[in-house]
Structures are given as C-alpha cells and as structure tokens.
Amino acid sequence: MSERKVLNKYFPPDFDPSLIPRRRQPKNSQQVVRLMAPFSMRCNTCGEYIYKGKKFNARKETVEGEDYYDIKIFRFYIKCTLCSAEITFKTDPKNTDYAAEHGASRNFEPWRDEKSVEEEDRLAKLEEEENNPMKALENRTVDSKREMDILDALQDIRARNARNERVGQSVDLLDRLGMEEIETEEDRERKLAEEEDEKLVREVFAKVPAAEASSSNGAGSSGGASSEAVVTVKRKAGTQEPDLQSLLPDSARALLSAKSSIGAPPLKRKKLEGKNALGIKLKGKAKAKAVV
C-alpha cells in the first residue's frame, strides 16, 4: 500500500522537463479561494443579511487599471446565501479594509462615521486657525486649561489611592498585631492552666505501700510467699497528710494488728526506687502485685 503523503517523487532517467508543454492561461484568470466575509452586509436583491465571518467559496481576480502605490487590488465574487445573487467586493489598501462594490450594501457602522466626523472637525479647526490667529490663541488656551484640569484630577486620584493604601496597610497591621496578642494571651492562659492542673494532681493523688497476706488468706499470691501491693490514695488538696495506717482498708489493718500481736519479725524494707513524681513504688520478694 502506497503512502498517503509522499514527499519524494520518482523521476525516470530519461525525464526531460523541457519537453513538458506550458499551460496557456488568460492574462487575468480567476481563482477559486475559500474566504470569510470581511464585513457584515445586506443583499440588495432579497434583503438577506450576511454577517461578518460567513464562509464562502469565492472567485478572485486582479482589478485591471487600479492599484495603490504599486499594490495590486483584488476583487472577490460571492453568492447570496438565500437568492444566490452575485455579490462583489474588493480590497482597499488605502484604508486597510474592504469596500463593497456590487450586489450588496455594507451595514451601518457608527464608529466609522465618528472617525470621519472627527477628521472633518480637525481639518476645519486647522483651517480656521490659519485664517484667524486670535482663534488659534484661544484654542491653545482652552487646550492648556483642559490639560491642567486633567492633570489635577489625576493627581487627586493618585493621592486618594495612596491614602487608601496606607489606611489599608495600617488596618491590616493592627489586625495582625491584635491576632498575635490574642494568640500569646491564649498560650499563656493555657500554660498556666496546665501547670495548675499538674499541681492539683500531685496534691490530690499519692501512692503508699501496703503488705498483704499470703495466698492462704486469699491474696492471690503463691503459697507461703509474701506479696506487695500499691495502694492509690485520694485525698483533698490543702489538708494535712493523714496517717498511713488510717488510709489502709479494714482487712489490711486487721492483718497488721494480728502480726504485731503474734510477734512476727518486722518486714525488711528494701531500697526504695523512685518511679515518677506522682508516688513511690516498693518492691517485695514476690512477683505478684495487687492493687487495692
């Protein structure tokens, strides 16, 4: 299968381009081109409106005997979309535009009339100033006064904008400082509250050691082995620390009084090891622990 887009053509060895006859065409032949309507127009035959940018298959030719500084002028032939009447327009290099020629009239464009009116007024003003020097002086005075008024108004606008900008910056700065102050106060209050809570917890909660009986008395330890228990005691803050014996439960106090009456050897206290700032932990010989 051959390629769709072929860049190189095959030329046989005996090819001679001079033997190809030249195609003879008329001097001003027309070409078919694809274009869009350069302006909005209305058909003179049926009154159909053709908007700017409508696409047409047009015929193009060079206008004979017309040019603008050796720039060729081209004429285009199109057909009305409704009645198929022929419409022609040509290029206008002088005004860098297109001009309607036959079959349609260009729609009214107010800005073009404004430009033409302004140009006519300017030419009339120049002509009047040439003939009347006092009128020229008066016109220059009026123009200078108008320029001064415009400059004053512009200066006022700049000053107002600068003042508004300064006010906006100051307001933003005050808001930012206020937010930072509020955040600083909130952090300070939060820190003080945390310190007070920590102090209150240290005063309210304390840990004291207590000895329990062996497994024969249902303490949950192995037979014949003493165990250790850590009792967490809650007391009110601001009061004097009570006696340790009064803080123990009734069963523990009864056990201690029974041992003291029997004359059991006192328990050997080992070296206390500080666990944390909230209490003191006492280790015994047994591994089992119970919390009362």
pLDDT tens readout for residues 165-215: 877 777 777 677 777 777 777 788 888 888 888 887 777 765 544 444 444
Binding residues: 43, 46, 80, 83
Sign of the Cα torsion 50, 54, 56, 59 reads positive
State whether 98 and 155 are in the same domain: no
State whether 94 and 129 are in the same domain: no
C-alpha distances in Å from residue 235, one per residue of 196, 228, 239, 243, 292 = 17, 22, 8, 12, 16
Name the residue range of residue 129's domain: 108-181
Q: pLDDT tens-digit profile of 67-104? A: 999 999 999 999 999 999 999 999 999 888 899 999 99
| Domain-terminating residue out of 166, 181, 196 | 181
Q: How far apart (Å, rounded) are the C-alpha atoms in residues 16 and 11?
A: 9
| Domain-terminating residue out of 85, 106, 127 | 106
Taking residue 221's Cβ as centre, other Cβ atoms within 10 Å add up to: 23
**Above 60 in pLDDT, residue 267?**
no
User: What's at 82, amino acid-wise?
Assistant: L
Residue with the bigger pLDDT between 80 and 162: it is 80
- Sorting pLDDT into bands at 50, 70 and 90, what band is 292? very low
Q: How far apart (Å, rounded) are the C-alpha atoms in residues 240 and 90?
A: 113
Residue 254 domain flag: no
State whether 97 and 119 are in the same domain: no
Q: How many domains does the chain have?
A: 2
Q: How far apart (Å, rounded) are the C-alpha atoms in residues 214 and 249?
A: 17
State whether 134 and 147 are in the same domain: yes
State whether 98 and 124 are in the same domain: no
Residue 157 domain flag: yes
Q: pLDDT tens-digit profile of 115-150? A: 778 888 888 888 888 888 888 888 889 889 999 999
Residue 261 host element (H or E): helix 250-262
Binding residues for Zn(2+): 43, 46, 80, 83
pTM for this predicted structure:
0.38
State whether 39 and 79 are in the same domain: yes
| Domain-terminating residue out of 75, 106, 137 | 106
Close Cβ partners of 229 (under 8 Å, ≥ 6 residues apart): 209, 210, 211, 212, 289, 290, 291, 292
State whether 45 and 102 are in the same domain: yes
Q: How far apart (Å, rounded) are the C-alpha atoms in residues 84 and 89?
A: 16
Residue 212 domain flag: no
Residue 85 domain flag: yes
